[in-house]
A and B are shown apart, each in its own frame.
Chain A
Amino acid sequence: MRETKKELKFFTIPAYRKEEEYLSKMHAKGWRLTRVSWPCVYHFEKCEPENVSYRLDYNQEGVAHKNEYVQMFADCGWEYLFDFVGYSYFRKVAGEGQENEEIFCDDASRLEMMRRVFKGRVTPLIVIFFCMILPQLSMNAFGYGGGSRAQDVIALCFVALAALYLVLFSAFAVQFYQYEKNLDITDNKYKAKYVGVAALMIFFVVFIGSVFWLSR
């Protein structure tokens, strides 16, 4: 029986780059990924430390035609691991002079993948945001059907939820923008911008929430 371990780690939807880096680092430390389970638990087993590239793809068509999809990657030397919430996980031992091999070789296809992630993962979030969170937030903040203390608490919860959503949206928007402009994500200048946009969004939601609340 091999030694195993679990780690709970959250990555925002578009941060698959960070996730890949994390998995490679774990493998270099002698922990091989075996599976990911709900909500974001990474399962590892002990192995020889090795320089391995991990890559994530998001391709619903590939998941639907698993055989040929996996075969294409296998032919190019990538081991298919599993799918988790739409993402397919691949890994490849980094050979001499082949560190950081990519599964995408041009920006057009990298952007195309971002688009697929956006369609598959972010669009449902936007629908939930506008059809559920915003209406609930305003109804509770206005105190429809009584205006009890409990409703204030619920309204606050929805403000927090709305803020969380907006942070996710802005994170995605900023990353998408960076991909499109082909910018370096690790650049601190853009990190500052990203935090700025997120803070602005939170401020906006809290402001709207308190206007609703005070105007009753």
Chain B
Amino acid sequence: MDAHIKKVYVPMTETGFYILLCLQEPNHGYGVVQKVKDLTNDAICLAPGTMYGSLSKMEKDGLITFLREEEKRKIYQITNLGREVLELEGKRIERLYGNMKEMMS
């Protein structure tokens, strides 16, 4: 993973994190929006401008890849690079959470 990707994506936005998390299975943008709504009990509602911008940026950076188009919706899936970023970010959040538990108990 090159330094640029690391700098831009670690730490990443909540939107970016949920996109990568959900795209471990093929899905389109709106599918991700719905899934995140379910996962967070409606607490996080991803907006279309943010989604469109993030998806095209992540595709350009090679974190996700375009599979096919279904009814005008682009289906994406995570790439190996995307998985690496997700794992790195997961570890960071784990550390954050661990430290919080330690300090707050």
Partner of B69, one of A59, A68, A69: A68
Chain B residue numbers with a CB within 8 Å of A68 are 69, 72-74
Main secondary structure of the interface of A (DSSP, over half): helix
Closest Cβ of chain A to B26, distance in Å, is: 15
Q: Are A72 and B13 in contact (CB under 8 A)?
A: no
Closest Cβ of chain B to A206, distance in Å, is: 40
A68 to B51, CA, bound (A): 12
Q: Are B50 and A72 in contact (CB under 8 A)?
A: no
Tell me how many residues of A have a C-beta within 8 Å of chain B.
24
Q: Find the residue from A68, A73, A112 having the highest chain B CB count within 10 A.
A: A68
Q: Which B34-87 residues have a C-beta within 8 angstroms of A?
A: 44-54, 56-57, 69, 71-74
A61 to B52, CA, bound (A): 9
Q: Are A109 and B74 in contact (CB under 8 A)?
A: no
Q: Are A108 and B13 in contact (CB under 8 A)?
A: yes
Partner of A71, one of B50, B54, B72: B72
Chain B residue numbers with a CB within 8 Å of A61 are 56
A68 to B13, CA, bound (A): 23
Q: Are B49 and A113 in contact (CB under 8 A)?
A: yes
Q: Are B72 and A67 in contact (CB under 8 A)?
A: yes
A55 to B47, CA, bound (A): 12
Q: Are A71 and B56 in contact (CB under 8 A)?
A: no
Partner of A73, one of B45, B46, B48: B48
Chain B residue numbers with a CB within 8 Å of A57 are 49
Q: Which residue of chain A has the shortest Cβ distance to B31 in the bound complex? A: A75
Q: Are A72 and B53 in contact (CB under 8 A)?
A: no
> Residues 97-122 of chain A: 1 if any B CB is under 8 Å from the residue's CB, otherwise 0?
00001111110110011000000000
Q: Which residue of chain B has the shortest Cβ distance to A116 in the bound complex? A: B53
Q: Are B49 and A104 in contact (CB under 8 A)?
A: yes
A101 to B13, CA, bound (A): 20
Q: Are A112 and B53 in contact (CB under 8 A)?
A: yes
Q: Does A169 contact B (CB under 8 A)?
A: no
- Indicate whether A106 sits within 8 Å of B15 (C-beta atoms), given known contacts A71-B73, A75-B30, A75-B33: yes
- Which residues of A are in contact with B by a Cβ distance under 8 Å? 55, 57, 59, 61-62, 67-69, 71-73, 75-76, 78, 101-106, 108-109, 112-113
- Chosen A-B contacts, 20 in total, with CB atoms closer than 8 Å, are A55-B49, A59-B52, A62-B52, A67-B72, A68-B73, A69-B52, A72-B29, A72-B51, A75-B30, A75-B33, A76-B47, A78-B48, A103-B50, A104-B49, A104-B50, A105-B44, A106-B13, A106-B15, A109-B49, A109-B50
